[in-house]
Amino acid sequence: MYFSTRVPRARSRRANQFTPVNALLNGALQALADIALQPVILLAAIAYLLGGSSYQIAGFAVVSLASWALAEWVAAPLRVILRRDFRLVTIGSVIRLVAAVAIGVIGLRLADADARDQVGALLVAYTIYQLASAVIGRASVHSIHGGGALGSRRGLFRSRAIIGAAAALIGGVAVWSALRAPGTTGDQGGLALVLAAIGIAAATWFLLAIPENRRIEPRAPHRGRSAREGLPALRFRAYRHYLFFRSVLALSAAADPFLIVFGLVQLGLTLGEVGAAIAVYAAGHLLGMLIWPEWTAARGARAPLQMTALLRLLILVVAVSIPSISASGLYAGRFDGPDVAVRCFIAIFGLLGLVTSANNVANQPYLLDIVPADLAHPAIALTNTILGGLALGALAAAFLVERFSLQAMLYVAIILAFVALVGSGLLADSRIRIRQRYGSRGVRRPIARGLV
C-alpha cells in the first residue's frame, strides 16, 4: 500500500502561521546572545583582563567581520551537496549549538582554569559559532520567507530587526547586571558567557521550529551572485568611490576592539563599567534602527553613510582626548573624581551603536541604487568579500599596539577616519537610479552625475 508523505495543505497552512512568531522570537533571542558575545567590547575586555595578547583581542573582531564574507564561499558548495536550504539550516544550527555549549562550559570554568588557555579556547569556540551563524543567516532567509506576500516578508524582516535591537538592549542591561555582580573577572565574565549560551540554545530551538518552505523551489546556488561576477561594477565611478570610502572606513574600524582596552588602561574601567558600555551600545543601536530607515527612505542612503564617517572620527578623537582632559588641572578644579570622564568615555559606545546600525541599514540600499539591477547582488557579494578581507586590519592594529603603543594605533585610526570623511564627499546621490541593466542600449533612466 502506498502512503503519501506530503503534509496536508491545511496542516501546512497552520504551521506557516507560526513562522512569523518563530522568526521574531529567534531574532530576539539571537540578538540577546550576540550582545552578550559583543566582540569589540565584552570579549575584547575579557581577553585583555585575562592576559590575552593583542592578537587574541583583535581576533574576535576579525572573526565577527570576516565570517560573513567567508559564509558566501562555504554556503554555496553546501547548497549543491545538501540540495535544500532547510538541511543546511539544520546542520548549521546543530554546529552552532555545540559551539554554544562549549562557550557555556568555558564560562563556567573561566574562574578556575588557566586564563590564557581559556582565552584561546573561547576564540576557537566563538569562531565556530560565528561562522555557523553566518551560514545559517544566508540559508534561513528562504525559510523565513515561506508563505507570505512580498510586502509581508519585508515587514517581517523590518519587525525582526527592530525587535532584535530591543532585545539586544534588554540583553545589554542583563549583561551589565551580571558584570556588576560581586566576584572576580572570571566569575563575572563567565556569567555573561553562560547567559549567551542559553540565548543561543533558545534561538536555535525557535529557528528549527520554522517549517520547511516547500512551496517555492530554491534558486540555483548563488547564480549570478558571485564576487567575480561583480567585477563589471568597477566600471562605474560611483561604485569605485563607494568602495574606496568603505575600505578606508573599514580600516579605521580596526581600532574598535582596542577602544575598550584603552579605557581599561587609561581610565581604570571596571568590568561593571564595561557592562555599562555594552548597554549604552545597545541603546545607540536601537535608536539607530528607529532613525536610519526613515532617513534612508526619505533622503536616500548617502547621508547615513556620511554620518558613519563623521561619528567614527568623533568617537576616536573623543576617546583619545578624555584621558588627557581628565588629568588636566582644569578638570581637577571642576570635578572631584574620574567619574565624569568615565561616563563620557562610556557614552562614545552609544555613538558606536549608531554607526553600526547605520551601516546595517544604508549600505545595501545605496548599492542597489548606484549599480544596474542585474549587477546589484554580484556587487554586494564583491563588496562583502573585499570588506571581509579588510577585517584582517584588526591584526594590523594589534601589530601597531605591540610594536608602538595604543595611542599610536588610535592616531593612525583617526587619520584613516578623516580620510574616509573626506572621501564620503565623493559618494553619489543615491536617490537617482541608473539604467536597469548593465550594457543596455534601449530606453535609459537619468544617470546621476558622477555615476559612470
Of the candidates 141, 134, 137, which has an alpha carbon nearest to the alpha carbon of residue 67?
A: 134
Provide the pLDDT for residue 9.
46
420, 255 contact by CB (below 8 A): no
For the segment 133-173, what is each residue's pLDDT rounded down to a tens digit?
Answer: 888 877 766 555 544 444 445 555 567 788 888 999 999 99
Domains of the chain: 17-211 (1.20.1250.20), 227-438+445-452 (1.20.1250.20)
Residues 30 and 164: their CA atoms lie apart, in Å, by: 8
For the segment 208-238, what is each residue's pLDDT rounded down to a tens digit?
Answer: 777 666 554 444 444 435 777 888 899 999 9
Give the H or E element holding residue 125.
helix 115-145
Residues 145 and 369: their CA atoms lie apart, in Å, by: 23
Lowest mean pLDDT among 9-13, 289-293, 346-350: 9-13
Residue 17 in grid coordinates: 502561521
The Cα-based distances of 108 to 127, 135, 193, 407 in angstroms read: 19, 28, 8, 34
For the segment 42-71, what is each residue's pLDDT rounded down to a tens digit?
Answer: 999 999 998 889 999 999 999 998 887 777
**Beta-carbon count within 10 A of 310 CB:** 15
Higher model confidence: residue 81 or residue 47?
Answer: 47
For the segment 3-28, what is each residue's pLDDT rounded down to a tens digit?
Answer: 344 444 444 444 455 567 777 788 88
**pTM (predicted TM-score):** 0.86
Residues 436 and 335: their CA atoms lie apart, in Å, by: 60
Percentage of the chain modeled with pLDDT above 90: 45
Residues 226 and 73: their CA atoms lie apart, in Å, by: 9
Residues 164 and 166: their CA atoms lie apart, in Å, by: 5
Provide the pLDDT for residue 445.
39
For the segment 253-279, what is each residue's pLDDT rounded down to a tens digit?
Answer: 999 999 999 999 999 999 999 999 999
